[in-house]
Chains A and B, each alone.
Chain A
Amino acid sequence: AQSVTQPDIHITVSEGASLELRCNYSYGATPYLFWYVQSPGQGLQLLLKYFSGDTLVQGIKGFEAEFKRSQSSFNLRKPSVHWSDAAEYFCAVGDTNFGNEKLTFGTGTRLTIIP
C-alpha cells in the first residue's frame, strides 16, 4: 500500500527566509504527487502536482517542488516566505493504477511565520 511521510510536524521560519518542507512516499511505481495548503477552518487548495516529465514543478504562490525518484521524495520549497504563507501543508500521493481515484495524504506540516 502507498504511504506518505511528512517528518516535520511544525516548522517556524522568519518572514523573508527560505522554506523547505519534506515529503517522502512509498509506492511501487512512479506516483502522482501533490502538495496542498490548508488555512485554519478551510478546505485544501492545490499548490502543485507532479504526474510525469520535468521533475521540478512550479506551483502557485511562488512554490516549487522537486521529484527525486532515488530518494522517494517530493519536497516543497519557496525562496522567500510571506506572513500569508502560514498554514498547514499536506503532501499526497495518488495511485497511478487508478489515476486520481484515491489519494493518500501525509499527516501535514504546520508552518508558522515570525516577523
Chain B
Amino acid sequence: DGGITQSPKYLFRKEGQNVTLSCEQNLNHDAMYWYRQDPGQGLRLIYYSQIVNDFQKGDIAEGYSVSREKKESFPLTVTSAQKNPTAFYLCASTRTLNQPQHFGDGTRLSIL
C-alpha cells in the first residue's frame, strides 16, 4: 500500500543534541511538508519542498533544517538551536496543485 512512513514514532533528545526525523513516501508525490503540532495551536508549517533539491521555509523554520536529495525522502533535523523542541511532528505530501495533503502518523519528540 502506498503511504507516508515516519520514524521513529517516539524520539528523545538530550540538551545540545541534533536529532533527525525520517519521512519517506511511496506515493510518487512531488511536494512534501513538515509540520509541528502543539496542544491548542493546530499545525504550523516548518519547511516544505516542491521538487528535489529545493525547499522553502515555512512559518517556524528557526532551529530546524531539511534536505530533499530524493523525491521519496524529506528528513527533518531538529538542531540544538531549537530551544523548545518538544512537540508532535507530522510529515505530509501531495501531488501538488489542487490535491489534498496526505499525512504520516507522526513522531513525538521529547527532551531528556
Contacts and interface: CB of A to CB of B under 8 A. Distances in A.
A44 B90 contact: yes
B111 to A, nearest CB: 19
A100 B45 contact: no
A100 B96 CA distance: 6
A63 interface: no
A31 interface: no
Given A43-B104, A44-B103, A105 B98 contact: no
A114 B48 CA distance: 39
A27 B50 CA distance: 23
A43 B98 CA distance: 21
Contacts of A90: 42-43
Given A43-B90, A44-B90, A103 B101 contact: yes
B31 A101 contact: yes
Max chain B C-beta neighbours (<10 A), residue from A32, A42, A43, A108: A43
A9 B98 CA distance: 29
A105 B41 CA distance: 9
A2 B11 CA distance: 33
Nearest to A52: B98
A34 to B, nearest CB: 6
A32 B97 CA distance: 11
B106 interface: yes
Contacts of A108: 40, 42
A45 interface: yes
A44 B42 CA distance: 11
B48 A100 contact: no
Contacts of A100: 31, 94, 96-101
A102 B45 contact: yes
A99 B98 CA distance: 5
Contacts of A103: 45, 101
B105 interface: yes
Given A90-B43, A101-B48, A107-B41, 7 more contacts: A41-B108, A43-B106, A99-B96, A99-B98, A100-B100, A100-B101, A107-B40
